[in-house]
Chain A
Amino acid sequence: MFGWEFPPHNSGGLGVACYGLSKALAKDGVGISFVLPKMMEVSADFLKLVFASPEEIELNFFNSLLSPYLSAESYLSRRAAEESGLYGQSLFDEVERYAALSGSIADREDFDIIHAHDWLSFLAGIEAKRRSGKPLVVHVHATEYDRTGDGAINPFVYKIEKEGMAEADKIIAVSDFTKRKIVEKYGVDPRKIEVVHNGDDPSSVSGERSGESLLSRIKEAGFKIVLFVGRFTLQKGPDYFLHAAKKVLEMEPDVFFAMVGSGDMEGQLRQEVAALGVSGRVVFTGFLRGGELAEAFRAADVLVMPSVSEPFGIVPLESLRNGTPVIISKQSGVSEVVRQALKVDFWDVDEMANKIVAVLRHPPLSEQLARDGQAEAAAATWESAAKKCINIYQNLLTTN
């Protein structure tokens, strides 16, 4: 299995998904060699970790800027700003280096199936297939169209994605939403694609906290809290959240809007908050994880996920598990899994505001959504995702 990141060295969902899926696969008796592009301080007793990092160049990746969520565009601009730094490699060099080293890893390791997660590891997967002749499964957690919010895609990334999909014996998409994208934008035969919805690991966002966080104090002061959790990028639609906030405040003044996360757009969002005249009602908490994030969910009255294009989107499941109802973008994979939720088009800020107000005003609605949604989230497990993957593996092994 080729990945790019692994908890706790992850900046978002890809590492979490790889961890959850491989753990459930291991529980079902699948032996996994999990390959990462460089040495990281990670440990997992249920699989074998392999690092594609010869000693001599390891130092070069120290302090790496690399993150699978940066669009190539923003990576390059950030890199230009830090050109004077120690390292001189681009993201693409890194991807290609990973692929080059994966060949020898394929020679060394004993395996039946190659499973590569997202474009960053596709070339590595293809190389492993070339060397071993074993079937390749590429797992699409997000496409370049999602990362750029359907804006300007990077042709190099697109090319790698397309190549991975072409070389793969089977493609796993994290949702029907993503499957449609793969068919429409990459011209892939839908019969080659299987949908495996992500699960959610109940232990990922939980734990006790002091109850003394900023959000808890706001709640205690009698205000309602509406939550955004995610990276501040075009893809996640934080700007739509702020515009909806403005409209909600015109009807319901005693509400705070909490932005949990960090990202490229933070400066722009802070300016937007000022321009909309809602500075007194929007708080930026920074990036939260574990118990702190759980506490934010519990303090909030409703979570909004206004993503422009969300292949899956685990945050609503985390929110529901913490008992907080959700409003989710229809442009998301998770809305295929959660029915006990309010759904909006990300661009329809009027409707977003209408639904936020409804949840705040009508306790029977928010209580029912929280209770029934919690049950639904509990049913979205990695175990069932792993079962589907094993089926796919078995079909590939019997037909090959």
Chain B
Amino acid sequence: MSVCLYFHVHQPYRVKKYRAFEVGRDHSYFNDSSSSDLNNEKIIRKVAEKSYLPASAVLVELLRRHPEFKFAFSFSGVVLDQMEQFAPDVLDSFRNLVRSSRGRVEVLGDTYHHSLSFFYSPREFERQIVLHRRKISKIFGQVPRVLRNTELSYNNDLARWADRNGYLGILAEGWDPVLGWRSPNYVYRPKGTGKIKVLLKNYRLSDDIAFRFGERSWSEWPLTADKFSSWVSAAHLDGETVNLFMDFETFGEHQWTDTGIFDFLRALPGELLKDKYNHFLTPTETLRKYQPVGEIDVPNVLTWADTERDLSAWTGNDIQRSAIKEIYALENRVLRSRDPDLIEDWRRLQTSDHFYYMCTKWFADGDVHKYFNPYETPFDAYISFMNAVDDLKLRLDNPKKKRSLNISLSNK
């Protein structure tokens, strides 16, 4: 049985509290400098200290201790930009980790701006894929062979696109209604494709770590590494690869240090390797090793989120749908402006997190969204976002006007 691990690293450029008065006057949307959770620099530093740095240190240690240990990362372009801007030491730590791993750490393909562009503008999606590929190759010296789209969003069309564009494989949620009686622990072929394969997230085992690890009311609490690896061993009769996909912030940020999450991570590879039938593979190796056992048909968009596993967390209500439409409606005018700052601001506003913050589902069901929402309410998120869009439109109307640079590295 292979174990295929991948950690997702992403932070959005959150829009500051941007009021109607600022429209037409202040063209910087992402530079909150207050003590709130809209301060991107503060968040990057906080997440780095709590999660990225200590978790990376554990991974370095594990790579050294277990020559068999392998895994993958995916980085959004916007998190890499923010690290360059606010936390170069953290970027160095990731760079060294990947570059010194001799191929044992794979970096996946993604959209640069962590956007849902594939479903709104395939051409913009392609541009963001190219931007991302360049960035990854420059920093990590790898060209992604496996695609992981924003929020694990996936459908047949995306698989066909990835197939045409030479990817070995693509990642998706291993959701029961899609699989029917079948197991997520095999490699499958997306419907209507020739060569590409899909790796499905084993969401039960992944979420045991990512969501349930520190939950004292959970019947399996406390989760130990040997208990977890016994669950993986129990899956031997049910497939060839267990794909564990999760946010890297799981370690230290979503699950705090005092839950024992770092000790768990430190012990896990050793425990898994105690079973001689277990081994680690990167996504590329997994895709090369196993043949598809069947076809996966996903006509509607599948994501990791909520019990619906669809896009409703991002586009489920009217304000979300209108905000995302507004932003893509500006595409031609923005690109024609040839103004790099304006284009970059427009792209940063495409980041899926903005729409997630406008989700009103949590009023009824659970608090996942609330936990991740730096705005007081979804309406506050919408209002700041739309004010920024209104300002962006004014900039399109007055292209000649002098503007201050959006990102100013010098005064940091």
Q: Chain A interface (Cβ within 8 Å of chain B)?
A: 247, 251, 339-340, 342-343, 350-351, 353-355, 357-358, 361-362, 364-365, 367-369, 372
- A369-B19 contact in complex given A362-B322, A362-B386, A364-B319, C-beta closer than 8 Å: no
B360 within 8 A of A: yes
A365 adjacent to B319 (CB under 8 Å): yes
B20 adjacent to A368 (CB under 8 Å): no
Distance in angstroms between the alpha carbons of A328 and B16 in the assembled complex: 22
A368 adjacent to B386 (CB under 8 Å): no
Q: Is the interface of A mostly helix, strand, loop or mixed?
A: helix
A contact residues around B33 at 8 Å (CB): none
Distance in angstroms between the alpha carbons of A351 and B18 in the assembled complex: 10
A-B contact count (CB 8 A): 54
B383 adjacent to A364 (CB under 8 Å): no
B19 adjacent to A343 (CB under 8 Å): no
A364 adjacent to B20 (CB under 8 Å): no
B258 within 8 A of A: no
A355 adjacent to B383 (CB under 8 Å): yes
B363 adjacent to A339 (CB under 8 Å): yes
A342 adjacent to B379 (CB under 8 Å): yes
A367 adjacent to B318 (CB under 8 Å): yes
**Scoring B residues 296 to 322 as 1 if CB is less than 8 Å from chain A, else 0, what string do you get?**
000000000000000000000111011
B386 adjacent to A358 (CB under 8 Å): yes
Of all chain B residues, the one with the shortest Cβ separation from A363 is: B322
A354 adjacent to B322 (CB under 8 Å): no
B383 adjacent to A368 (CB under 8 Å): no
B contact residues around A358 at 8 Å (CB): 20, 382-383, 386-387
Distance in angstroms between the alpha carbons of A377 and B379 in the assembled complex: 18
Contact among A251, A364, A372 for B21, CB-based, below 8 A? A251
Distance in angstroms between the alpha carbons of A160 and B99 in the assembled complex: 76
B377 adjacent to A350 (CB under 8 Å): no
Distance in angstroms between the alpha carbons of A361 and B387 in the assembled complex: 10
B377 adjacent to A354 (CB under 8 Å): no
A contact residues around B318 at 8 Å (CB): 364, 367-368
B317 adjacent to A368 (CB under 8 Å): yes
B376 within 8 A of A: yes
Distance in angstroms between the alpha carbons of A96 and B318 in the assembled complex: 56
A32 nearest CB across to chain B (Å)? 35
Distance in angstroms between the alpha carbons of A343 and B363 in the assembled complex: 15
Distance in angstroms between the alpha carbons of A387 and B390 in the assembled complex: 48
B386 adjacent to A350 (CB under 8 Å): no
Query: 8 Å CB contacts to A: which residues of B1-56?
Result: 19-21
B contact residues around A369 at 8 Å (CB): 379
Distance in angstroms between the alpha carbons of A368 and B379 in the assembled complex: 10
Of all chain B residues, the one with the shortest Cβ separation from A367 is: B318
* Known contacts A343-B376, A358-B387, A362-B322; 18 further A-B pairs (Cβ under 8 A): A247-B21, A251-B20, A354-B19, A354-B20, A354-B383, A354-B387, A357-B20, A358-B386, A361-B390, A362-B386, A364-B321, A364-B322, A364-B323, A365-B319, A365-B383, A365-B386, A368-B318, A368-B319
B contact residues around A351 at 8 Å (CB): 19
Query: 8 Å CB contacts to A: which residues of B338-395?
Result: 360, 363, 376-377, 379, 382-383, 386-387, 390
B322 adjacent to A350 (CB under 8 Å): no
Distance in angstroms between the alpha carbons of A60 and B383 in the assembled complex: 56
Distance in angstroms between the alpha carbons of A342 and B20 in the assembled complex: 15
B234 nearest CB across to chain A (Å)? 43
B20 adjacent to A365 (CB under 8 Å): no
Of all chain A residues, the one with the shortest Cβ separation from B362 is: A339
Of all chain B residues, the one with the shortest Cβ separation from A251 is: B20
Of all chain B residues, the one with the shortest Cβ separation from A339 is: B363
A contact residues around B321 at 8 Å (CB): 364
Instruction: Please name 17 pairs of A and B residues whose Cβ atoms are closer than 8 Å in the assembled complex, sorted by A.
Output: A251-B20, A251-B21, A350-B19, A351-B19, A357-B20, A358-B20, A358-B386, A358-B387, A361-B20, A361-B386, A362-B322, A362-B382, A364-B318, A364-B323, A365-B379, A365-B386, A368-B317
